[in-house]
Amino acid sequence: MPAVSSRGRGGRRTVNEINMVPFIDVMLVLLIIFMVTAPMLTPGNIDVPTAGKSSKPPSKSIAYVLLDKDGTHTFKAGNNSQQVALGELQGLARSWKDANPEQAAVQILADKSLPYEVVVQAMAELQAAEVRVALGVKSAAK
């Protein structure tokens, strides 16, 4: 029902304005509730998904870069396996790509406890060699 105001001499007109007081009261109550409950919320842990086995066997012409937690880097292509420094990955990957131009992919298998920065550095070296880079999970048996 609109509010009615009177102006001298019996003239009455309706005031078409929304009363904001109840709205402000409700907003202040909600603000107080959120301010009180926010410190009580505990942040939850994020469960990262685990990797399972692939239904398709890996290609025979794929090379692997094994990154161990002790800092060793191993480049494995076929039956050949050699430990290399991080700076040598680009040259090995480029020579492997020239030998296998049809499927030049290198999969990085890193230890779970290894800092992600090491994985990114290895990925950058392999991408500089212009090979396709895939990420995998290093199983405990390897």
Asked if the model's pLDDT at residue 4 lies above 80, the reply is no
Work out the mean pLDDT of the chain and round it to a whole number: 79
pLDDT score for 142 = 45
pLDDT score for 27 = 97
Provide mean pLDDT across the span 92-107: 79
**pTM of the predicted protein model:** 0.55
* Residues 6 or more apart whose Cβ sits within 8 Å of residue 74: 64, 65, 66, 68, 81, 82, 83, 84
Identify the structural domains of the chain with CATH numbers, from first to last. Answer: 3-38 (no CATH), 63-137 (3.30.420.270)
Give 23-39 pLDDT, tens digit per residue: 999 999 999 999 999 88
